[in-house]
Amino acid sequence: MSNYEPLQMTRSRRAILRELSSAEHHPTADEVYQRVRRTIPRISLATVYRNLDILTRHGMIRTLADADGQRRYDATLEDHCHVRCEVCGRVDDVHVVPLEAVERSITDASGYSISGYSLSFAGVCPRCAGGGRRGAEDAS
Amino acid sequence: MSNYEPLQMTRSRRAILRELSSAEHHPTADEVYQRVRRTIPRISLATVYRNLDILTRHGMIRTLADADGQRRYDATLEDHCHVRCEVCGRVDDVHVVPLEAVERSITDASGYSISGYSLSFAGVCPRCAGGGRRGAEDAS
DNA sequence: CTGGTAATAGGAATCGTTACTAATACCTGA
DNA sequence: TCAGGTATTAGTAACGATTCCTATTACCAG
């Protein structure tokens, strides 16, 4: 799956990577696009998508599958999990016990050779839970 | 999130549920559609989508977010996890240690109130690993 | 500089999903 | 049994996220 050919660091890629690293939650492709546009106004949305894909295949970022169809991107590479607020859609990081033992048991039970996992929890974030409906920008 | 009003079991819903329960891997909406069409030839794809959504909101099935944009559906309700083959896209079940302890620690650490989780592993299934490229119907 | 390759902008095309609307099925009470 | 009201449906148009296409541009090696 991964493709570790040398990858030239173009201006677009550097900018995308920078925005992704500085974002405090995990943005969608369009959010990355909007941010990068402040630096490179003529960048194309297609370029953003293509590079997010390339960076993922090169193991430099991660692509997250979101329950509502949109993908989100993550510059943190160490194994970690996500919590997604069911009210506002925000996605945060959580650091959790390593799951190597679980991986091994899956390999034994299913025959799959495991290369990674994605563990995400759903719940309500403190912003949305604590009184009122604040923080629920894009609630369904 | 869930909606537990009484739900009338129409012919479509019964058929969708039946196909989902008898499927050995987790089908996409379109795969469910193709299967149900053998029984109800005039059923609409929109009906399939609507009912998959309704059944999910009533807690009768689960909707899985797939890494490649498509949703998959799951009639197994007990807590369990998934393995997805990175070669052919197939998704299988795995039964794994309960994660209540992890949920508690996340609640403590992040302040989220957790209502559920989704743990999925990625790897290569035995079909795709064992010799040749067999089983890789829709490899990218 | 020059030629060749990789990356890009811009926009059209694709594909999964949802919204809309008129027609139909289903329930409830008389 | 029937009438009236509500939920569900088929069919299709619309939508939004993502990908594809192509001419142009940036980059690198010689």
Residues A93 and A106 in one domain: yes
Model pLDDT, residue A140: 29
* CATH number for B106: 3.30.1490.190
Q: Does residue B138 sit within a domain?
A: no
Q: What Cα–Cα distance (Å) separates residue A30 from each residue in A36, A37, A46, B48?
A: 10, 10, 10, 29
Chain C bases near protein Cβ (<7 Å): 6-12, 16-20, 25-27
> In terms of residue numbers, what domain contains A56?
1-77
SS3 A108: helix
Q: What Cα–Cα distance (Å) separates residue B55 from each residue in A15, B2, B48?
A: 43, 10, 10
Which residue blocks in chain A are alpha helix, DSSP H? 11-22, 29-37, 45-57, 100-110, 126-129
**B residues 43-82 lying closer than 8 A (beta carbon) to A:** 63, 65-67, 69, 71
Residues A60 and A92 in one domain: no
Among the candidates B39, B61, B76, a domain finishes at B76
The nucleotide minimizing the C1' distance to residue B6's CA is D7
Give the nearest partner residue to A102 out of B97, B114, B118, using CB atoms. Answer: B97
Q: Which residues on B lie below 8 Å from A123 (Cβ)? A: 106-107, 112-116
Indicate if the pLDDT at residue A133 is higher than 60.
Answer: no
Q: Does residue A70 reach within 7 angstroms of strand C, measured from its CB?
A: no
pLDDT in tens, B80-137: 777 766 656 667 777 766 677 777 777 777 777 777 677 777 777 776 666 543 333 3
What's the whole-number mean pLDDT along residues A60-80? 82
Q: Which residues on B lie below 8 Å from A86 (Cβ)? A: 1, 115
Contact A80, A95 (CB under 8 A): yes
Residues B102 and B58 in one domain: no
Which phi-psi region, left, alpha or beta, contains residue B19 (left: φ > 0; alpha: ψ -120 to 50)?
Answer: alpha
Among the candidates A34, A56, A77, a domain finishes at A77
Q: Which residue has the tokens 């309700």?
A: B77
pLDDT band at A87; cut points 50, 70, 90: low
* CATH number for A33: 1.10.10.10
Per the structure, the count of domains in chain A is 2
Residues B71 and B95 in one domain: no
Model pLDDT, residue A16: 95
pLDDT in tens, B49-63: 999 999 998 889 988
pLDDT band at B5; cut points 50, 70, 90: low
pLDDT band at A137; cut points 50, 70, 90: very low
Model pLDDT, residue B30: 95
DSSP state of A28: B
Residues A88 and A139 in one domain: yes
Indicate if the pLDDT at residue B139 is higher than 60.
Answer: no
